Chains A and B, each alone.
Chain A
Amino acid sequence: MNEVRVLTPSGMLGSGFPPETLTRGIELGADVIAVDGGSTDSGPYYLGSGTAKTAAAAVAQDLRLMLRAAASAGIPLIVGSCGTSGTDSGVDWVAGIVREILAAEGLSLRVATIYSEQQPAVLRSLLGRIRPLPPANALDPEVLDSCSHIVGMMGHEPIVRALEAGADVVLAGRATDTAIAAAYPLMKGLPAGPTWHAAKIVECGGQCTTNPRAGGVLATIDAGGFTIEPLDPGNACTPTSVAAHMLYETVNPFSMREPAGTIVVSDATYRALDDRRVRVEGSRFEPAAQHTIKLEGARVTGYETMSFTAIRDPHILGQIDTWAALMRKTIGEWVTRTLGLGDGDYEFDLRLYGHNAILDDLEPDRSPPREVGVMLLVHAPDQQTATAVAKVANPLMLHLPTPDMNYLPSLAFATSPAETERGPVYEFALNHAVDVDSPTALFRINLPEAHSA
């Protein structure tokens, strides 16, 4: 093939897109549909718990449209980082939805699944080949066992293997955002520089256009570069909107590491072909001497209980920092007196929404607020303790006066009961990469079987 057209209907499976996005892309000759199903952006909970951020019904709606389009056009569909974090449970969750749709629609497509979850024992055997990525430190092997889930981020190679085996639909566990869109053009022999750069530009769907809410994009990759255009005829890509996407959620806007090498765009040029299509040339891909797989792991740090009240009284708001300091001090005293707990048994954060909750000490504007929401977030080794602390704090959240008041105010609780148990909370515990001899070694590829009604 001299050129390959990659259709990305949206930046995230389950976020929805206009159905015309697909019909337009197919009309323009799309060779593959690629969509990302995951992200770490929303925090460690989804990897830690092995659950998805997106609603099953929303994922099913997107998949129904894409499976119909792929089947009617006879082109493959690739979904990466299934179930938000790419755990095995995430792949199985998306695969289950796909099977239901194929049966309901009477479609016969061959579905491959690729599992990316890693076992601590296997990683322990590779310890000497695991390196920290900044700002992490060398890996303490105990961390591997403490994680509830660990995934490896695959490059394009396992996806290519599934496609070469005849898959119409590839459902991948954790994959780099770019690998999903790069796999098919690389398999067809298109050059790595334009392919990887195009894959990075399309990974967020319409983000590289002047109206990111108007649906997805189509990238046409050829020997000399790639051309990118939005699928909504009213939307536009401009040299600036395309170039600026290299900045999005990246540390370094000039280079990006993939398992197989580095995308280098410092010499790339962006030229308007007309008022809505952009031509990109000069992108490079520098193959790495050593293939690496990045690891992601999440573990439970404890349990949280949240309580939320609110203040409108101008007298208290006039000295809100004094009030908050008194609240912090009194919670500690009451918890010690009634529960016998001290430092180290629990922690809490008191956040003043409407005053300085988001930036805290970094907040440049200290002017008096009109109303303030007070969130108490308690963290403890178990749920019972977290909730007990929040319950002890409850009368203070209702009635704490400022030091100069000689009566007890009543504040505005937002809910009853006041306490909400948040369950286990997680942290990302790994920021490491493992050197591998084979780009597919850490991944289990289930080659396609025919699924039909």
Chain B
Amino acid sequence: MPDPRTIAELALEVRSKNAGPFWVTMELFMRDAAGYAQVADPDYLNPTVIARLYGVPADTIQMFRLPSLNVVKISFPRPVSQGSLRDRDIHAGQHHVPLALHPLPH
């Protein structure tokens, strides 16, 4: 099997969802401690990177690292009001994709 190139290829699951009407939250469920160490590295994933991927202010982003679960969790205020004309993802269920397709560090 070729080396994984994206977070999705390395992870067990990458998902996103509303956390109440005003927040989006995403989780990277990694397969093992080694995969977790790669994505939990603050030099690799941090609010600046998330801000660029999602067009949201870096200072509104909250990140949680859970080594016991091999999970990195990211939350930020919903950039588009839920159910409004510009909201194309009511449950924010597909918003994990830009993060999932983010290239891994070399």
Contacts and interface: CB of A to CB of B under 8 A. Distances in A.
A133 B62 CA distance: 15
A248 B23 CA distance: 12
Q: How large is the interface on B (under 10, 10 to 19, 20 to 34, 35 or more residues)?
A: 35 or more
B18 A249 contact: yes
A247 B25 CA distance: 9
A224 to B, nearest CB: 21
Given A244-B29, A254-B64, A362-B55, A377 B85 contact: yes
B4 interface: no
Interface string A84-112: 00000000000000000000000000000
Contacts of A135: 22, 60, 77
Q: How large is the interface on A (under 10, 10 to 19, 20 to 34, 35 or more residues)?
A: 35 or more
A134 to B, nearest CB: 7
B40 to A, nearest CB: 14
A166 interface: no
Nearest to B94: A358
A42 B77 contact: no
Contacts of A134: 77
Contacts of A248: 17
Contacts of A348: 85
B33 interface: no
Nearest to A357: B88
Contacts of A349: 85-86, 88
Contacts of B22: 133, 135-136, 428, 431
B88 A358 contact: yes
A251 B23 contact: yes
Interface of B: 17-23, 25, 27, 29, 53-55, 60, 62, 64, 66, 68-69, 71, 73, 75, 77, 81-86, 88-91, 94-95, 97-98, 101
Given A41-B17, A44-B83, A379-B85, 14 more contacts: A41-B91, A44-B21, A240-B69, A244-B29, A247-B66, A252-B64, A253-B66, A304-B85, A349-B86, A351-B88, A362-B55, A377-B85, A425-B85, A427-B83
7 contacts: A40-B20, A42-B90, A240-B69, A243-B69, A247-B69, A252-B62, A364-B98
